[in-house]
Amino acid sequence: STEMIDYYVKLVSDYPVISIEDGLDEDDWTSWSLLTAQLGKYTQIVGDDLYATNMERLEKGITQKTSNSILIKPNQIGTLSETLAVIKRAQQAGWTTIISHRSGETEDTTIADLAVASNTGLIKTGAPCRSERLAKYNRLLKIEEELEGSARYPGKGALYNLERMK
């Protein structure tokens, strides 16, 4: 893990990398903490498999400072209430939250609404090249139209916890 962390440090210093997702083994909490300590001030360190949208794992991550961002997969935890609780807790800790699709996704657009409603500012739904992905982007455009300027996409401000984005 030390070599991998050194590699990430070099990548971030040589290139404009702003986000690393699942950069280490999901059970290597110590190395995640080291990675975040070294890069978390300027790079979004995203835990997906590390947390699995699970409140207990998230609480452990907050305590151990294992990342500064969590990938949220609504159908991974069980209920919408549990999903919203995980989002809220991560945001309270000052972390970014990213609403994400799953592999084998359908054209259901719920995650677009969830991303806006929970004020994540970030969504992961893949390149706009297949109908199940385009449906989500189109829904985001429709939401923007429906809100008529009462809400604004924060752009790079969505990465509010990174010093280089301020």
Q: Is 80 exceeded by the pLDDT of residue 86?
A: yes
Check if the beta carbon of residue 121 is closer than 8 Å to that of residue 148: no
pLDDT category, 7, cuts 50, 70, 90? very high
Check if the beta carbon of residue 153 is closer than 8 Å to that of residue 137: no
Q: What is the arithmetic mean of pLDDT over 90-114?
A: 90
Please tell me the predicted confidence (pLDDT) of residue 166: 52
Please tell me the predicted confidence (pLDDT) of residue 157: 86
Q: Can you tell me the distance from the alpha carbon of 102 to that of 109, in angstroms, rounded to the nearest whole number? A: 12
State the alpha helices, DSSP H only, in 15-120: 29-39, 55-64, 74-77, 80-92, 110-117
The total number of structural domains in the chain stands at 1
Buried b (16+ CB within 10 A) or exposed e, 32-49: bbbbbebbbeebbbbbbe
Q: Is 70 exceeded by the pLDDT of residue 85?
A: yes
Domain range enclosing 152: 2-165
CATH of the domain at 142: 3.20.20.120
